[in-house]
Amino acid sequence: MSTVPMPQSQVRQTKMVILFVAAMVLLTIFLRVIGLITEWFWFQEVGYRTIFTVTLMAKIKTGALFGAAFFTIFCGNLLIALRLSRAPLAGDTGFMAGFRLPLHQAGPGLLKLLVLAASLLFAFFAAASGSAQWENFLLFLNPSPFGVSDPLFQRDVGFYVFQFPFLLHIYDWLKFVLLVTAAATGFVYLIRGSFLFIPPRFWRIAPAARIHLAILIALFFCWGVFGVWLDLNDLLFTKRGVVFGPGYTDTTTQLWVLKLMMGLYVLAGLSAISFAIRPSWRFPAGAILLLVAVSFLGRGIYPSIVQKFQVIPNEIVAEKPYLEKNIKYTRLAYGLTQIEEKEFPTEDNLTAKDLEKNNLTIKNIRLWNHAPLLQTYSQLQEMRTYYKFTGVDNDRYKINGESRQVMLSPREISYPALPSRTWVNEHLAYTHGYGVVLGPVNRVSPEGLPEFFIKDIPPVSTTPLTVTRPEIYFGENSNEYVFVRTKMPEFDYPVGDKNVYSRYEGKGGVPLSFLRKLIFAVRFGSMTMLLSDDITAESRVMYHRNVRERVSMVVPFAHLDADPYLVISPEGRLLWFIDGYTVTDRFPYSEPTPQMGNYIRNTLKAVVDAYDGTIQLYVSDPTDPIMQTYSRIFPGAFKPMDEMPEALRSHVRYPPGLMAIQARMYRAYHMQDAQVFYNKEDLWSIPGRQVTGGGQEAMDPYYTIMKLPGTEKEEFILLSPFTPSMKDNMSAWMAARCDAPYYGKVIVYKFPKQKLVYGPRQIEARIDQDTIISQQLTLWQQRGSNVIRGSLLAIPIEKSILYVESLYLAAENGQLPELKRVIVAYGNMIAMEETLDLALQKIFGGGPIKDRELRLAEGTKAPAAAEQSDRQTAIEALGHFRKAQEYLRQGNWGGYGDELRKTGEILSTLEKKGGKGK
């Protein structure tokens, strides 16, 4: 077949397409380089150059590896095809004579140019895609042993966590490359006339093309052997039975089926080689059909039959060994093996003296819920429409020598709410938020509003805890970028109808020059930035200002907690604390958690300065193998917890997100007997709480300050209760200790099964059934007020459980909830009063819990001594009378008589006192 030259117009069009594609590739590379340069500036600013350079080099290496491999395989095969197809098949008639592709008349030189151009373009995309595997590549090269082997193949878990994901990607990538290469090679042979088809049944393929394509197909099948080996290992992460992981069906059917398929893939590869030698379709067709049949029957129908007819009728017998594996490995993966279980012998003998002994616990019971408190803060302390409180954090501070639980919220700039959203306002003038509000969790003003330790602008403190650097340049509500130290004064805070302005004095931000200004203008796509005269050589640009984004840039491998919390340092600076987790979905036999994986450790504590944006990274769990691997990959990037200043360590918290995950798992995995686990005989649940609108949602873990049973000192505790599944009484409660030296220790206190302990839902039901409370709620609602019920908190005190719930009132269309009542429940007694002290006195009698320091600090006036004394005496008598009624219902005649006698004595004393008054 003679080669007819391609028309010049088609040649020009082809070259134009090549030039356009090349220009687009160069533009993409240019923008990527600009992005890399600005990221380098940023990593220099925060002091983590090592992380940038290690990551960049890993991306370059993996990109080069995948790009070069693709180019070699793809381009090499296409050039071989061009060389082998120089002589077309004789007899260019029939179908191929009338079937002309656009490149059918192209000469060898142009085809070679097109092959090189296409190979470079696809290799570029392969490199770009491959560079995304930089993390898996580094993990593959730096594995750490877990010291735990999988029960099926006896390999260390580290293989599945660090090396298996990269091997999976290599397999999928090379399989795709072989398919694309085979298709492209066939296309070259097609346009070069190596295929001949004469209807209706005659067809031929050139020997060189047949051999070449057969070799590629043989390589594809041989590579499939490796893929089946990976499938064999991937059995550890399947779920066919009652729990996650291979059960009876998978281990008895899939192991030998997959090994058989490995042999069949080899047979299919050999059949392709035989076709290259002898062009007969029978052997290849038979081998491929056999492989497809075994795959369909052995991996689909056969295990389904075994599962349905052999396993399900005898499930507990067949699955018991695999249930035991699932229980063991799930408990390991979620750290449940480190949880200590203790008995909590609950008793109904809590007294006023016990409350006095635990007065610090009582004074730290949280009465303010996050949602109503946030609304109240917004109404009382936002000051201007462009300020916003985005969340409320719980923490503890030493105030007047006592540990006090507080609620704190930062005042940030809301850029969508600016009075004028110009480029200057958003990026030069309104650069930072200002200050915080902070108050105790249990203090309420006479108007039902929260009391403050820190409030207003500038911050005013009523305690020794002060804020000296209130500016918030880095927070949760920051915009993309701002410039500081410009000619434009920065808005600091409002005073009356005027504003106070400031100039940034910190070390945060990237210094600018004209060249850098040009680079950042390209990066942010802003011509205004380039033309602005307010930006000078002294100016700095701050970007990645959101604290979660900021930390994730430095530790992209960490799963960051969704709720950073703010801490006031002893020097008065505002610091963001962010918990980081190492997670994986490659822990064998471990039950997965949606959107997280099936292994988690809280290994990282990040601290970000709200003023200058500096980041400190502390390793909180150095025993975690994943963290050990990243510490080797990024040497010097992480500090041990011992290097965190002691004053900051006192604000480290056990993450509620981690406890929520552990609590969900512990509901079932506290049962370690396979039979009990399968039957769900002791399954727990996390009690629900009422929400606005009458619905229910699971209770979140909550912080409190309390004495754990058997300890002498109050601690900051994260607590979560449990109830039996399908029942409402309480079965246990989980406590995570937050204070040194016991930080991270988790204890589950179990109630005796033979004794009824009211759970949150039962207490809620009893509150709803209380006639006095229900009448009051109805009365409020009839007056047009919205009644907001706070979270019901279960507070362990001594050997008893005390329940506390707050009630808030808000106008029908109002945004200022007021705390109007506090409900306390203990045993069969319920009291609703204006304050927590009065509610406790109504149930237990005795005097109020003293809070002398705070009363003096806030200037609270005590009522007249005589009036207060008479009221306390009456409440104490009522408390003994209620206990007498409770003993009467229980049939405890001795306790009934004793409490009745105490009631009479107190009333007699009150009567005599009244007579003297006359």
In terms of pLDDT, which residue wins out, 624 or 816? 624
Tell me the mean pLDDT in the region 692-716. 84
Write out 353-418 in H/E/C secondary structure. HHHHHCHHHHCCCCCCCHHHHHHHHHHHHCCCCCEECCCCEEEEEEECCEEEEEEEEECEECHHHC
pLDDT band of 24, cuts 50, 70, 90: confident
The Cα–Cα gap between 817 and 684 comes to 35
> Is the predicted pLDDT of residue 734 greater than 50, yes or no?
yes
Of the candidates 722, 730, 731, the residue with the CA atom closest to the CA atom of residue 662: 722
pLDDT at 28: 81
Q: Sign of the C-alpha dihedral, residues 755, 761, 765, 767?
A: positive
Q: What is the pTM of this model?
A: 0.86
Mean pLDDT calculated for residue range 34-48: 94
CA–CA separation, 909 vs 597, rounded Å? Answer: 66
Burial class (CB in 10 A: 0-12, 13-18, 19+), 628: buried
The pLDDT of residue 36 is 93
Nearest alpha carbon to residue 341 among 796, 745, 757, 680: 745
- The mean predicted confidence, pLDDT, of the chain is 88
User: Burial of 315 by CB count in 10 Å (0-12 exposed, 13-18 middle, 19+ buried)?
Assistant: middle
Model pLDDT, residue 721? 94
pLDDT band per the 50, 70, 90 thresholds, residue 908: confident
Task: Read off the pLDDT band of 697 (50, 70, 90).
Answer: confident
Which SS3 state, helix, strand or coil, does residue 565 take? strand
Question: For 406-417, what is each residue's pLDDT tens digit?
Answer: 999 999 999 998
d(CA 614, CA 606): 10
Pairing of strands 800-811, 785-789: antiparallel
Q: What is the 8-class DSSP label of residue 312?
A: G
* Region 876-893 average pLDDT: 70
Cα–Cα distance between 442 and 432 in angstroms, integer?
Answer: 31
How far apart CA 147 and CA 80 sit, in angstroms, is: 49
CB-based contacts of 787: which residues, under 8 Å, 6+ apart? 777, 780, 781, 807, 808, 809
The closest alpha carbon to 400, from 461, 467, 470, belongs to: 461
User: What pLDDT, on the 0 to 100 scale, is given for residue 815?
Assistant: 76
**Could you give the percent of the chain with pLDDT greater than 70?**
89
pLDDT at 13 exceeding the cut of 90: no
Residue among 376, 777, 396, 713 nearest 568 (CA): 396
Quote the CA–CA distance of 390 and 371 in Å, as a whole number.
10
- What is the arithmetic mean of pLDDT over 900-911? 75
Cβ proximity of 588 and 160 under 8 Å: yes
Report helix angle 164-191 to 108-131, nearest 10. 170
Q: For the chain, state the CA radius of gyration.
A: 36
Res 598 pLDDT > 90: yes
What are the angstrom distances between the C-alpha of 333 and each of 240, 615, 624, 631?
20, 29, 11, 20
pLDDT at 102 over 80: no
* Identity of residue 453: F
Enclosing H/E stretch for 641: none
> What pLDDT sits at residue 867?
47
Strands (E), 251-291: none
Cis amide leading into 458 (omega within 30): yes
| Interatomic CA distance for residues 662 and 734, integer angstroms | 10
- Whether the CB-CB separation of 150 and 235 falls below 8 Å is answered with no
Identify the DSSP state of 849. P
Predicted confidence (pLDDT) per residue in 145-198, tens digit? 999 999 999 999 999 999 999 999 999 999 999 999 999 999 888 887 777 766
In angstroms, the Cα distances linking 649 to 104, 361, 463, 585 are: 74, 22, 21, 31
How far is the CA of 601 from the CAs of 14, 157, 332, 597, in angstroms? 56, 15, 11, 11
Has residue 606 got a pLDDT over 90? yes
Closest among 610, 615, 608 to 637, alpha carbons compared:
615
Which residues are registered as beta bridge partners of 607? Answer: 577, 616
Q: What is the pLDDT of residue 94?
A: 42
Stretch 418-424: mean pLDDT: 91
Give the model confidence (pLDDT) of 487-543 as tens digits.
999 999 988 888 999 999 999 999 999 999 999 999 998 899 999 999 999 999 999
DSSP tag of 236? G
pLDDT of residue 622: 95
Q: How confident is the model at residue 858 (pLDDT cuts 50, 70, 90)?
A: very low
The DSSP code for 687 is P
Please say whether the dihedral angle defined by the alpha carbons of residues 426, 427, 429 and 432, taken in this order, is positive or negative.
Answer: positive
Give the C-alpha separation, 63 to 202, whole Å. Answer: 46
3-state per-residue secondary structure call for 70-123: HHHHHHHHHHHHHHHCCCCCCCCCCHHHHCCCCCCCCCHHHHHHHHHHHHHHHH
Give the per-residue pLDDT at 827.
Answer: 87
What are the tens digits of pLDDT across the range 615-655? 999 999 999 999 999 999 999 999 999 999 999 999 999 99
